[in-house]
Structure 1
Amino acid sequence: MKQIIILAGTAALLSTTPAIAKPGKGNPHAGHANHQAMGHAGYGTGGCPPGLAKKNNGCLPPGQAKKLYNVGQRLPGSYGQMWSYNQVPYDLRSRYGFDPGDRYYYGDGYVYRVDPKTMLIRQVVSALLR
């Protein structure tokens, strides 16, 4: 009985063929040069998917963009949409004590209160607006 199991196991191992992966599997950057060499620049603006291109955040998915910009970090001027103090909804201004002297940016469902001189983020408020 032992010999049958050993023979069956050996036969199973010998009958399998190694899997051949396509280039780039497991490494998202492998093969990228090939696409550019063939003239494929991707789709949307600068190879960015249309939904991310609209966000104006450097083609970052919303979860990654939120992780990048926190209190004390410098907010790039190209990120989000700049709002004046009066464009920020009244309930947010009053609830969070926003100052008319600061700058405000809206991006990916968050309002960023930014120091106008240093462009450092002072406050991040979740504000999913329709």
Structure 2
Amino acid sequence: MKFSLIAVLVVSLAIGSESVSLVKRDAPAELEKIGKYFQDLVDNLKNVEGPEMANKAKAYFEESKAQFQPMVEKLQEQLKPLSNIEEHIKPLAASVQAQVAPLSNMVQTQVLDMLKFMNEKTKAILPPK
């Protein structure tokens, strides 16, 4: 029994070490492929001329602008009614403020009266100095 356990352990270690060495051998090939890809990319970028790239970018932006311009105009038309919403809100806000101001003043006076009352009661409870 012990011999078979030791044999299984030795075989599994051998297989494991062999699989690790296979992985190590594959890694340089993958790194070489990645390095070649980036080298080709750099070479292609060096071959592209600056003015040519600028012209392509300008054409792309003009094409994008042409596609988005109708959407922008439609959105502006939809937002026009909302541009004068401030004119409608100002009178409403003034009305609400006029209605709330007396209530807030009343609450403020009641809170001050309550604090004054608590102060007087606290002084009455404390021993004289």
Question: When the two structures are superposed, what TM-score results if normalisation uses the length of structure 1?
Answer: 0.30
- Please identify the structure whose Cα radius of gyration is greater: 2
Larger strand proportion of the pair: 1
Bigger proportion of residues as helix: 2
